[in-house]
Amino acid sequence: MPILRKVRYSLSKTPARAPLVWMRHRSFRTSDAFVGSYPRSGSTWLRFMLLEILAGRSSGFSNTNEMIPDVGRHLTAAPVLPAEGRLIKTHEPFRAEYKKAIYLARDPRDVAVSEFAFHKALGLAGSDFTIYLEQFLRGEVNPFGSWTNHAISWMDAADSGRSEILLVCFEELKRNSEQELTRIVDFLGVPVQAERIRQAIANNSMDRMRQKEKADPQRASAKGNFIRSGSAGGWREVFTEEQSQLVQQYAGNILARLGYAEVESLEGKLV
């Protein structure tokens, strides 16, 4: 199985993937909406909460992946939105098919740390984080390209009005969960009582998420878990000055565009 995994992983980063991506992006409804994000940006946590808010059901890995599934598995997704609309997850860069979407952005330094742990546990990365970080910034570690180009594709689409896109930052979702989830359900056009939102937040704390994974184990990450710490700013504990400079070299402009540079500046950190 590890050898097959490595072969599939390698093929996923080649042009051979293009026909599969095209096939997955069919049979959408005008009432559908998407949850877009780069991998390891918190979309699992967000979907768990949205399932409880929109469908009124306790969320777990199995029913969340069935009811708010990955693009390509959306034919049987639950109609949790008005006019039989479905909520569909995607890690792809922006595509014209995404007429209405939430884009969940996360600091790429935290994304890189999480992606490294995930890939290392699966045998898809070596032990040198600096080497991995540069590969991450060049868009060589997964099928979705670099974090920078991914974020730019979604931000440009939002700014140009080509799609109706709500930008949500993972860090703000952690800091002000009720406020951000209220923004999201308003954007989706679903009236929900505040108590349901508060309950969904309580039901999906990191501790609760780990309990859910224990009941339904997922592909490994750090210490054998798919759910890690879900931290905001945890990269500061592991990054060297050289690694921080490398991120600025590749992603400084989009970091500033998303507001991360301002946050760093206020905290007296490298910008």
Fold of domain 2-266: Rossmann fold (3.40.50)
Domain spans, the chain: 2-266
Question: Residue 268 has what pLDDT?
Answer: 40
**The pLDDT of residue 52 is above 80:** yes
Task: Return the closest-CA partner of residue 36 out of 23, 28, 47.
Answer: 47
Sheet holding 87-90, edge to edge: 87-90, 33-37, 100-105, 164-169
**The pLDDT of residue 114 is above 50:** yes
**Mean pLDDT, to the nearest integer, of 19-38?**
97
Stated pTM of the model: 0.89
**The pLDDT of residue 115 is above 90:** yes
Distance of alpha carbon 136 from alpha carbon 139, whole angstroms? 5
Chain-centre distance for alpha carbon 184: 15
* Confidence label for 248 from pLDDT (cuts 50, 70 and 90): very high
Question: Residue 267 has what pLDDT?
Answer: 43
Report whether 170 contacts 109 (CB < 8 A). no
Question: Residue 246 has what pLDDT?
Answer: 96
SS3 71: coil
**The pLDDT of residue 235 is above 80:** yes
